[in-house]
Structure 1
Amino acid sequence: MIGRLRGILISKQPPSLMIEVGGVGYELDAPMSTIYDLPAVGKEVILLTHYAVKEDSVALYGFLHEAERTLFRNLQKVSGIGAKIALAVLSGVSVDHFARLVQAGDVVALTKIPGIGKKTAERIVVELRDRIDGLSTLSGTSMRGSDAPLDAAGEATVALQQLGYKPVEVSRLVQKVAADGDSAEAIIRKALRAALGS
């Protein structure tokens, strides 16, 4: 079991990261809430990890905060939710906001997250309401962008599609929110906020 990595951030192409630890490059997927707060490429980073083994694949997921990892794990205990949807949830809303939606039983708001339909949202409310307490005390996430890549809009478009948004919707969102000088992370953050109406 790999529970934590400390190493040099080699690349970040949302939602994928590579961290070099002792000469070995670990590939991870991470939610945008973590990617927003990562240092620049070439800097040291410490990530909490979730190691997932399936019949046909092995995957590693990275998180800056324990609350994110805990919610990621809890979400996958809900029938119909896998790692991809769990990452989309963490990318679309903060842990605190998600906890408030679940406590309030706000099924409509939950269905705005890619991959979550009405029935899944209802299951989330029923199955996670009792487990969501205390998550907000573990969180402490902030959001900040990093240096803008050469093609920030293109990088943001790819990342949003990987999170489950349809290409036509992604194109509309990116065109609506992107501004000159925005980093990919900034464009993704604004697009997610626009898509979720927050």
Structure 2
Amino acid sequence: MIASLRGRVVGVRLDAAVIEVGGVGLVAYATPATLAGLRVGEPGELATSLVVREDSLTLYGFADADERDVFESVQTVSGVGPRLALAMLAVHTPDALRRAVAGEDLAALQRVPGIGRKGAQRIVLELADRLGAPATSAGGAPVTHAPSDRRGEVVEALVGLGWNTKAAEDAVARVAPADAGAVDASEVAAVLRGALRVLGGGRA
């Protein structure tokens, strides 16, 4: 089991990063939000989960161990494989998933591409006692945070993919204008895809 990676980031693409460890470049698939925190040429660290199949060894990377643990837990649900589990974390934070399961919020689960109503019901049923409770404040209420703007993470991801900062900022501004409000974690993937479409094939 490879539990974590630490090394120089030698490549970042839309769905994965390549991290050099001991002279070997390891590919780790990750969510856009996680990839946005990595910069080519700089040190990077990921919590990881190795998925072993008869014909492949695939590494998935996460911002922290909690994300990795949730990734592994949701795969215990019948019909949920690693790609769908990663998609769930691209749309929801670990605590958001816990709240959706605990509150039987099928609509929230169905926002994940590939999950329909029956799949959401199955996830709620099979994960009820496996994800644990969402983080709570001292008073027992769910922890809430002021909306944080993730535009910077999208810009960093585009820079990591090879565009210069000005081009990346302009593309993000076209997809998510400042007057449209903050870009939260659940929107990072969509904004990144939109910015890539704006940039097209022209590299800086």
Q: If the length of structure 1 is used for normalisation, what is the TM-score?
A: 0.71
The question of 1:78 aligning with 2:77 is answered: yes
Q: CA deviation at 1:86?
A: 0.6
Q: 1:14 aligned to 2:14? A: yes
Map of 1:27 onto structure 2: 27
Quick one: which amino acid aligns to residue 89 of structure 1? Answer: M
2:125 corresponds to: 126
Confirm or deny: 8 A CA contact 1:7 1:20 kept in the other structure. yes
Cα distance in 2 for partners of 1:101, 1:59 equals: 28
Task: Determine the C-alpha separation between the residues in 1 that align with 2:174 and 2:88.
Answer: 20
Structure 1 residue 4, shift from structure 2 partner: 1.4
Residues 85-164 of structure 1: matches in 2 within 5 Å? 85-134=84-133, 136=135, 143=150, 144-145=152-153, 146-147=155-156, 148-149=158-159, 150=163
1:71 Cα deviation from its structure 2 partner: 0.7
Q: Is the 8 A contact 1:17 1:30 kept in 2?
A: yes
- Report which stretch shifted further, 111-120 or 79-88: 111-120
Q: 1:176 to 1:122 in 2, by over 3 A?
A: farther
Residues 48 and 68 of structure 2 are in contact (CA less than 8 Å); yes or no, is this contact kept in structure 1?
A: yes
Shift of 1:32: 2.6
- Verify the 8 A CA contact 1:53 1:59 in the aligned structure 2: yes
The 1:126–1:177 alpha-carbon spacing in structure 2 relative to 1, beyond 3 Å, is: farther
Output the amino acid matched with 2:30.
A
| Max Rg structure | 2
Sort the Cα spacing of 1:41 and 1:18 in 2 relative to 1 into closer, same or farther, 3 A.
Answer: same
Q: Deviations over 1:39-74 (max 9, x none)?
A: 321111121111111112110111121111011001
Corresponding residue number in structure 2 for 1:170: none
Contact 1:99 1:136 in 2 (8 A): no
Decide which of 172, 175, 180 is 1:178's aligned counterpart: 175
In structure 1, what is the equivalent of residue 199 of structure 2?
Answer: none
Where structure 1 has 5 or more consecutive residues not aligned to the other structure, the ranges are 156-173, 193-198
> CA-to-partner distance for each residue in 1:152-189, whole Å, 9 max, x for gaps?
9xx9xxxxxxxxxxxxxxxxxx99971489xxxx9961
Displacement of 1:122: 0.7
RMSD over equivalenced CA pairs, Å? 3.2
Can you list the C-alpha shifts for 1:104-160, whole angstroms capped at 9, x where unaligned?
0011221121011111111111111211215648xxxx85514343399xx9xxxxx
Identity of aligned residues (%): 38
1:5 correspondence with 2:5: yes
Q: Secondary structure at the match of 1:58?
A: strand
* Paired residue total: 164
Q: TM-score, normalised by structure 2?
A: 0.69
What's the counterpart of residue 144 of structure 2? none
The question of whether the paired residues in 2 share the 8 Å contact of 1:6 and 1:46 is answered with yes
Q: Which runs of 5+ in 2 are unaligned?
A: 137-147, 179-184, 192-204
